[in-house]
Structure 1
Amino acid sequence: MARYHIETYGCTSNRGESREIERRLRDAGHYRVDGPDEADVAILNTCTVVEKTERNMLRRAEELSEETADLFITGCMALAQGEEFRAADVDGQVLHWDEVPEAVTNGECPTTTPDAEPILDGVVGILPIARGCMSDCSYCITKQATGKIDSPPIEENVEKARALIHAGAKEIRITGQDTGVYGWDEGERKLHRLLSEICAIEGDFRVRVGMANPKGVHGIREELAAVFAENEELYDFLHAPVQSGSNDVLGDMRRQHQVDEYVEVVETFDDALDYWTLSTDFIVGFPTETDRDHAQSMALLRETRPEKINVTRFSKRPGTDAAEMKGLGGTVKKERSKEMSEVKREIVREAYADMVGEVREDCLVVEEGTADSVKCRDSAYRQVIVQNASEYGIEPGDFVDLEVAAHETMYAFGEPV
Structure 2
Amino acid sequence: MARYHIETYGCTSNRGESREIERRLRDAGHHQVEGPEQADVAILNTCTVVEKTERNMLRRAEELADETADLFITGCMALAQGEEFAGAGIDGQVLHWDEVPDAVTNGECPTTTPDAEPILEGVIGILPIARGCMSDCSYCITKQATGKIDSPPIEENVEKARALVHAGAKEIRITGQDTGVYGWDTGERTLHELLERICAIDGDFRVRVGMANPKGVHGIREELADVFAENDKLYNFLHAPVQSGSNDVLGDMRRQHQVGEYVEVVETFDSTLEYWTLSTDFIVGFPTETERDHEQSMALLRETRPEKLNVTRFSKRPGTDAAEMKGLGGTVKKERSKAMSDLKLEIVGEAYEEMVGEVREDVLVVEDGTADSVKCRDGAYRQIIVQNAGDHGIEIGDFIDLEITGQNTVYAFGEPL
- Per-residue deviation, residues 267-293 of structure 1 (Å, max 9, x unmatched): 000001111100000001101101110
Q: CA deviation at 1:309?
A: 0.4
Q: Report the 3-state secondary structure (helix = DSSP H, G, I; strand = E; otherwise coil) of the residue aligned with 1:110.
A: coil
Query: 1:213 corresponds to which residue?
Result: 213
SS at match of 1:202: coil
Equivalent residues in 2 for 1:73-152, closer than 5 Å: 73-152=73-152
Residue aligned with 2:341, SS: helix
Q: How does 1:15-414 map to 2 (within 5 A)?
A: 15-414=15-414
- TM superposition shift of 1:89: 2.1
Compute the displacement of 1:49 (Å).
0.8
Contact preservation (8 Å) 1:46, 1:76: yes
Gaps of at least 5 residues in structure 2 are none
**How far apart, in 1, do the equivalents of 2:217 and 2:138 lie?**
20
Deviations 1:109-133 (Å, cap 9, x if unpaired)? 0001221000000000000000000
Equivalent-residue separation in structure 1 for 2:367 and 2:24 (angstroms): 15
- Tell whether the 8 Å contact from 1:367 to 1:395 is kept in structure 2 after alignment: no
> Aligned to 1:371, what secondary structure does the other structure show?
coil
Separation (CA, whole Å) in 2 of partners of 1:104 and 1:413: 28
> In structure 1, what is the Cα distance between the partners aligned to 2:334 and 2:36?
20
- Structure 2 counterpart SS, 1:279: strand
Deviation at residue 228 of structure 1 after TM alignment: 0.2
Taking the aligned partners of 1:311 and 1:164, their CA distance within structure 2 comes to 33
SS at match of 1:148: coil
1:59 Cα offset (Å):
1.2
Letter in 1 for 2:151: S
- Which stretch of the first structure deviates more once superposed, 171-180 or 324-333? 324-333
| Residue identity matched to 1:402 | L
Q: Is 2:11 the counterpart of 1:11?
A: yes
Q: Deviations over 1:359-382 (max 9, x none)?
A: 111110000011110000000000
Secondary structure of 2:53 counterpart: helix
Deviations 1:61-100 (A, max 9, x none): 1111111111111111111111211222211111110000
* Regions of 4+ moved over 4 Å: none
Segment drifting more, 155-164 vs 406-415: 406-415
User: How far apart are the structure 2 equivalents of 1:307 and 1:159?
Assistant: 32
Distance 2:123 2:148 in 1: 31
What secondary structure does 1:135 align onto?
coil
CA distance in 2, matches of 1:362, 1:160: 25
Structure 1: state its 5+ residue gaps: none
RMSD over aligned Cα, in angstroms? 0.6
Cα distance in 2 for residues equivalent to 1:126 and 1:151: 16
* Residues in 2 aligned to 1:186 and 1:283: alpha-carbon distance in whole angstroms: 31
Deviations 1:235-270 (A, max 9, x none): 000000000000000000000100000000000000
- Rounded to whole Å, the distance in 2 between the matches of 1:385 and 1:87 is 33
State the AA in 2 paired with 1:204: D
Name the CA distance, whole Å, in 2 between partners of 1:70 and 1:336.
16
Letter in 1 for 2:222: E
SS in structure 2 opposite 1:264? helix
- Cα distance in 2 for residues equivalent to 1:131 and 1:82: 38
Counterparts of 2:397 and 2:379, CA distance in 1: 15
CA distance in 2, matches of 1:58, 1:351: 34
Distance 1:287 1:83 in 2: 27
The residue type equivalent to 1:72 in the other structure is F
TM-score (norm 2): 0.99
Q: 1:309-367: CA deviations, max 9, x gaps? A: 00000001111110111111111111110110000111111111111111111110000
What is the SS of the residue equivalent to 2:349? helix
Instruction: Give 3-state SS (helix, strand or coil) of 2:317's partner.
Output: coil
Q: What is the SS of the residue equivalent to 1:397? A: coil
